[in-house]
Structure 1
Amino acid sequence: MKIDAHQHFWHYSPTTHGWITEDMKAIRKSFLPDDLVPVLNANGVDGCVAVQADQTEAESQFLLDLAAKNPFIKAVVGWTDLKSDSLEARLEAYQSHELLKGFRHIAQGQPAGFLIDPAFSNGIAELNNFGFSYDMLVFNNQLPEVVELVKKLPRMRLVLDHIGKPNIQAGEFAEWKREIERLSAFEHLYVKLSGLVTEANWQQWQLSDFEPYIESILDAFGPDRIMFGSDWPVCLVAADYGQVLTIVNQYIEKLSTAEQAAIMGENAKRFYRIRL
């Protein structure tokens, strides 16, 4: 089974989605399950993991409501306030939602020290007590803090979104690769092969732009800790779903059938504890 481990839904609002700037006008509209179904069908993808795009408790419920009505949504990664004094009670309540598998905070661009602040990292640790995973969304320059965070959470199921968001357009590579290699030593950490096109030149990217990054991820993490994710509909500012899929397929086709299946779905099933 092929599973897209990273995509989003939203009812577009200029206020809520202020991060969608003028140069991203292609996605300044609502994206809901009915929009994704034909795309998945056309590309031979069987299901997806819906990931939060808004930092509210209502976002988690919105995604859970969509998942309850659309069986192709196999898991939800929601949001909750990890610094809240009532976090334990919130997580206990969320345990009743079988499709809620983990949480994410949009940590990219946060000030230095944010990820390893005990008030935040202790909140992530609490997720593990209730069987939830954590998605890490950061920029390349935050990866040294990610190393420290992952080190502090040895029993936590963690995944690095969008390969750590190196600036592919600017050719950021050496420092990113060094931190990726450090991170790969932690066997409880997975990585999503996603979000590549939006870090490249949106209008002029080429398949070869992604080669050193994908090869580095494959070498560092191996096929058992990598998940394919489209980052749809955000990817649409630079590429359609089929193009995103082609980028990944081109570089994993040298792997065995079992290894390709792992990256394209089996790892997501295991990490998010998806029951089919």
Structure 2
Amino acid sequence: MTIDSHQHFWKYQAVKHTWIDDNMSVIRKDFLPAELKNVYSANGIDGCVAVQADQTLEETDFLLDLAQENDFIKGVVGWVDLRNAEIEDDLSKYAKHPKLKGYRHIVQGEADPNFILRPNFLKGISLLEKYRATYDILVFPHQLGAVLEFVKKFPNQKFVIDHIAKPYIKDGFYDGWALLMQEIGKHENVYCKLSGMTTEADYKQWTAEQITPYMELVLNAFGSNRLLFGSDWPVCLVAGNYEKTKAVVTNFISNLSPHEQAEIMGKNAVSFYNL
């Protein structure tokens, strides 16, 4: 199967979705399964993982309801407050949903670069293995030092880095990001999504050649057995369309073996998220 390991749904609300700025106005509308199903049909995608875009329990419930109604949504990465003293109540409740696969916190939006190392957050993360839940790491490059310390603390927890940690492709910054991603890649419980890359470049003038060095680095750091294709739909529409977004990855991996290509385009997502 070809699996899109990272996409979002929402009913657009200006107050809730303030992160969608004027440069991203094309996605200031609703994005729901009926539209994505047509996109997948046109692009040969068999299923997806829906990832939270809002930090509320209502968001998690919203995605689970959509997954229950649509078979092509194979899994959900939701949100719970991992800092909450009563976090086990939420984890226990959601563990009963077969399509709830893991959780994410929008750490990139936290002012503290070491947010991910706060004791109350670490305590919540320490409980995920018990509930067989994965954790998506969403950060900017300046937070990768903390991420390296973070993943060392939980060698048995399944982690995946979203959007190759959002390197500043538009500005050509590479070395500091690359060094830390290589170190993080040495931890075999950590995976990485080939997603969200075109929107870290210039929305209108990006080229695959600009993005290739970043993909080469994570391929070397994580290997084909720990990379997952993801579209970041509908955010990817800011910098093109689904076909172009998918082609960035499929063209890059075209020289790999058929087995390695199949891993990146679906098998790894199935294994990581237990789809």
The equivalent residue for 1:55 is 55
Q: How big is the shift at 1:122?
A: 1.6
Normalising by structure 2, report the TM-score: 0.99
2:117 match: secondary structure: coil
In structure 1, what residue type is equivalent to 2:97?
Answer: H
What CA distance in whole angstroms lies between the structure 2 residues aligned with 1:184 and 1:113? 20
Per-residue CA deviation, residues 254-274 of structure 1 (Å, 9 max, x unaligned), is 100010000000000000001
- Corresponding position of 2:24: 24
Shift of 1:99: 0.2
**1:234 corresponds to:** 235
CA shift at 1:95, angstroms? 1.2
**Bigger shift: residues 175-184 or 104-113:** 104-113
Q: How far 1:12 moved relative to its partner? A: 0.3
Q: Please give the per-residue CA displacement for 1:182-201, whole angstroms capped at 9, x wherever unaligned.
A: 00110000000000011000
Q: Deviations over 1:38-78 (max 9, x none)?
A: 11111101000000000000000000000000000000000
Does structure 1 conserve the Cα–Cα contact (< 8 Å) formed by 2:194 and 2:230? yes
Other-structure match for 1:10: 10
CA distance in 2, matches of 1:145, 1:251: 30
Does the alignment pair 1:170 with 2:171?
yes
Distance 1:125 1:135 in 2: 14
* Aligned mates of 2:198, 2:123 — CA distance in 1: 33
* Contact residue 63 and residue 78 of structure 2 kept, 8 A: yes
Q: Is the 8 A contact 2:77 2:104 kept in 1?
A: yes
Please, which moves more after superposition, 112-121 or 251-260? 112-121
Amino acid at match of 1:26: V
Whichever residue aligns with residue 247 of structure 2, its letter is T
* Cα distance in 2 between the residues matched to 1:136 and 1:24: 23
Specify the alignment match of 1:120 in structure 2: 121
Q: Deviation of residue 112 (structure 1)?
A: 2.3
- Give deviations 1:159-210, integer Å, cap 9, x for gaps: 0000011010000100111001000110000000000011000010111011
TM-score, scaled relative to structure 1? 0.98
| Secondary structure at 2:20 match in 1 | coil
Mean alpha-carbon deviation: is it higher for 251-260 or for 108-117? 108-117
1:41 equivalent in structure 2: 41
Q: Counterpart of 1:153? A: 154
Q: Secondary structure at the match of 1:5?
A: strand
**Do the aligned residues in 1 keep the contact of 2:114 with 2:143 (CA within 8 Å)?**
no
Residue 248 (structure 1) aligned with residue 249 (structure 2): yes
Aligned twin of 1:265: 266
Give 1:109 shift: 3.5
State the Cα deviation string for residues 230-269 of structure 1 (Å, max 9, x = none): 0000011111000011100111001000100000000000
Task: Tell whether the 8 Å contact from 2:135 to 2:159 is kept in structure 1 after alignment.
Answer: yes
**1:116, CA displacement in angstroms?**
0.6
1:83 is aligned to 2:83 = yes
Q: What secondary structure is seen at the aligned counterpart in 1 of 2:48?
A: strand
The one-letter code of the counterpart of 1:231 is D
Within 5 Å, which residues of 2 pair with 1:182-261?
Answer: 182-261=183-262
Q: Gaps spanning 5+ residues in structure 2: where?
A: none
Q: Distance in 1 between matches of 2:126 and 2:238?
A: 35
* Residue identity matched to 2:23: D
Unaligned runs of 5+ residues in structure 1 are: none
Could you give the per-residue CA deviations for residues 76-131 of structure 1, whole angstroms, max 9, x where no partner exists? Answer: 00000001111011111111100000000000042122011111122111111111
- Aligned-residue identity in percent: 50
The alignment's C-alpha RMSD in Å is 0.6
Structure (1/2) with the larger helix percentage: 2
